[in-house]
A and B are shown apart, each in its own frame.
Chain A
Amino acid sequence: MRYYFLNQDMKEFSLDVELRSTNVMDFYHEGQRSNIFIRSLAGKKFYSFDGIKWKKLVALGVNEVLVSHSEVYKVYRGFKPSGLNKGGAGALITQMPGKIVKLIKKEGDKVSKGETVLILEAMKMENEIKSGVDGVIKAINVKEGVALEAGFLMVEISENS
């Protein structure tokens, strides 16, 4: 599973994690592999780099904001929040925090201007998010049920020329 981290300045980096067994995770970052041992004990989680020295692990949810001392990162599990600042007529970007209720189109589908691409729940209302152009769905960066912050590029559509 690939993880993407994005800081306040929209700089990103990624790392990969693989669950080798129930208590070992392999991490890959810049060509290096490291592994972390994990154990549950008395309702708490513990980690170790060598299987001997153990420390308490803070269990976290998905799509959370993480902090590194004085830097705030948003974390994305399994999908890449690329092109956040790109915009353009073929880019469907969340205007406010919301949750993907349903994806109507899939990658490669043709869409015409005004056609609904997905349904986003925001401010307790379901909103039909429509294509602003005639074109083809180039990329869908979200899954159904995923909660998104404002400014997230959900769908990229390449406009017919």
Chain B
Amino acid sequence: MKGKRVLIINRGEIAIRVAKALNELGLVSVGVWTDNETEPPHLEYCQEWVHLSGSNNKETYLNIPKILNLIDDYKIDGVHPGYGFLSENREFSEALAKKGITFIGPNPTAVYKMGAKDISKQVAKEAGVPVVPGSIGEVPSIEEAIKIAEEIGYPILLKAVAGGGGKGMRPCFNEEDIKNHFSAVQREALSSFGYAALLVEKYILNPHHIEVQILADKKGNVYHVFERECSIQRRHQKIIEEAPSPFIGTDEAVRKAICETAVKCAKAVNYDSAGTVEFIMGEDKKFYFLEMNTRIQVEHPITEEITGVDLVANMIKAAFNEPLDFKSQDDIKIHGHAIELRICAEDPITMLPAPGKIVGFETTFPQGIRFDHCIYPKFSITSDFDPMIGKLIAKGLTRDVALRKIRNAVDGLLIDGIKTNIPLHKVILDEENFQKGLYSTNYIGTIRPQDKVPPKENIEAFFLKVAGIEINQFEGKV
């Protein structure tokens, strides 16, 4: 494996995370830059820099023929897709397999079976895993969607077959909603994933989003690396995640059941990489298979923090058929608790993306903090890409300790020049229900922490901003 050349076909913090793992394992990390990223920070960690020409995602990060050409031109042995973009694109993984290029992800059949939500549900069902009622296969039309909705009962969720990360999905509470949203969700699916097909499923009220990390190799070993709770979401996108789940808590029987069910799902498709089986859990702790993400996920660090398993490095090792860092399921244990805050360039109250240019960045963190990010002063956040710019992760012996650390860390995270959701995170971390671990995916909608974000800063805050400019002027650094 040493010396193999791996192209990272992604950007931002995940490209940095992958490059770090490649470098550490003795592989050659090859990063890309496109025409609308003038100073991509991820290249700092890449050993080689390659130009992927074009100025929109269709021309660059989603352009399979162009990427295949790069692979030929730069004698690439393997590709890490990160998350988003082509990470769960069957066409891409098949094209790589055909060329004999190692795809750092699961085999194309597993991508095919689990990457598309319509087929994955069927696979799970056949493996004896409980699934949320809904359409089998894609729903071609509004009429068909309404028909299924009437069968399973409202509310229902319209979802992109190829989707993930909350993009391309919308709840519908009646026929009117379906008529209004169907084509919008299709468009979102097409622009985000290059594939417009939709499916329909039952929308469970007050649910918990609990997912299980899977790590598998090419020898047929499938391990679970315990669960994560990702119920703090806005617009179906996670903003705070923690591991282990406070909702499962000390209920080891449920923990064992959900983890073993996840392994069963992964085995059903001969899974051979890092992946995540997502479940929706009702208040009765019954859980249903939602989907399997056949990629490394944004929130993987909290699992790494509580288990000590380097998921990205082991994913790379699995792809090159190298032995993993551990020998058996019993080697993987939970030590403590981890919480992750997604730091996004967005308005803390409306939670809508707010692109802009970072003009200042400083950090002061306590012990036990990990910050995976791509932030630097003068970094421009454009509307071309996801507004997530970093992940602040705290680890502690208990949930209370992790909470204490993350609360202190977020005070020490100073980003100036753009709106961020940092003020919202502070409100959530100070909120009673969150502190007690009592929350479902309806948290943002019902508790409404966004309403408690202080609307304005005092004049002293402006003095400090002026002081920040004057000090640079004084030192002639402009």
Chain B residue numbers with a CB within 8 Å of A15 are 459, 462-463, 466
Chain B binder among A62-70, A118-126, A131-139: A62-70
Q: How many residues on chain B are close to A (CB under 8 Å)?
A: 40
Rounded to whole Å, the gap between the CB of A1 and the closest CB of chain B is 7
- The CA-CA distance from A34 to B460 in the complex, in Å, is 9
- The CA-CA distance from A72 to B346 in the complex, in Å, is 12
| Smallest Cβ-Cβ distance to B422: which chain A residue | A69
Chain A binder among B168-176, B183-191, B352-360: B352-360
The residues in A between 5 and 51 inclusive whose CB is less than 8 angstroms from any CB of B are: 5, 15, 17, 19, 22, 25, 27, 29, 34, 36, 38, 44-45, 47, 49
- B359 pairs with A69, CB closer than 8 A: no
- The CA-CA distance from A46 to B264 in the complex, in Å, is 54
- The CA-CA distance from A69 to B424 in the complex, in Å, is 10
Q: Is B461 an interface residue (CB 8 A)?
A: yes
Q: Is B467 an interface residue (CB 8 A)?
A: yes
- The CA-CA distance from A65 to B380 in the complex, in Å, is 12
Chain A binder among B30-38, B193-201, B219-227, B448-456: B448-456
- The CA-CA distance from A62 to B359 in the complex, in Å, is 10
Partner of A61, one of B362, B459, B478: B478
A52-77 interface mask toward B, CB cutoff 8 Å, 1 = contact, 0 = none?
00001111111011111111100101
Chain B residue numbers with a CB within 8 Å of A56 are 362, 364, 412, 414
- The CA-CA distance from A125 to B168 in the complex, in Å, is 42
- A36 pairs with B461, CB closer than 8 A: no
Q: Is A3 an interface residue (CB 8 A)?
A: yes
- The CA-CA distance from A62 to B474 in the complex, in Å, is 12
Q: Is B349 an interface residue (CB 8 A)?
A: yes
The 8 closest A-B pairs by CB, nearest first: A58-B360, A60-B468, A64-B359, A68-B457, A60-B360, A27-B463, A60-B469, A58-B416
Binding site for B on A (CB under 8 A): 1, 3, 5, 15, 17, 19, 22, 25, 27, 29, 34, 36, 38, 44-45, 47, 49, 56-62, 64-72, 75, 77
